[in-house]
Amino acid sequence: MIVRSFEQFHLEQFAHAVERAVGPLRSGWIQDPLRVRVLTKDGQQLEFRLVEVDLYDRELVGTRFDRSPIRLPLANVQTVFRRHPHVPRLLLSWFSWTAAGAWGGFLLTSGHHWLTPGLDTFVGACCGAVAAGALSWLLRDWRAMYRWVAIYGSPAA
């Protein structure tokens, strides 16, 4: 019977979570590497794309944003944070742009209806939904649209 320490179990759970996050989806789509922020024990903050957790060499393996490789020993890591979308803000942005499109479709066609007032509003809402989706995609890297969630280690004090 193999006895594992709590730390080893915790590292294996972390490595498994990273593998699930960066592995291919069941639909066949390949996901982007996991974007992380690492707080080291000496107080540095590093942001990079995490590719894997190497349990044998006990280090984080990733790439910086300039595509240079980075290998960070787990002994130096205090906390690893994952970038997580802030869903309420994304939904609020999407719904507001969809409503603006519906209102705009109603106002633009109020004098002369191309179809019927209801269909003109519906077409405006559809255009607003497409614009909202495009805007959400453009704003995906804006700091207000995501938050950092600790996935390994102790949270910063």
* C-alpha–C-alpha distance, residues 81 and 147, integer Å: 9
Confidence band for 21, pLDDT divided at 50, 70 and 90: low
Give the pLDDT confidence of 124-146 residue by residue, as tens digits.
777 777 877 787 778 777 777 78
Q: What share of the chain is helix, strand, coil (3-state, %, to 5)?
A: 45, 30, 30
Q: Where are the domains of the chain?
A: 6-85, 87-138
CATH of domain 6-85: 2.30.30.100
Give the pLDDT confidence of 37-60 residue by residue, as tens digits.
888 888 889 888 888 888 888 888
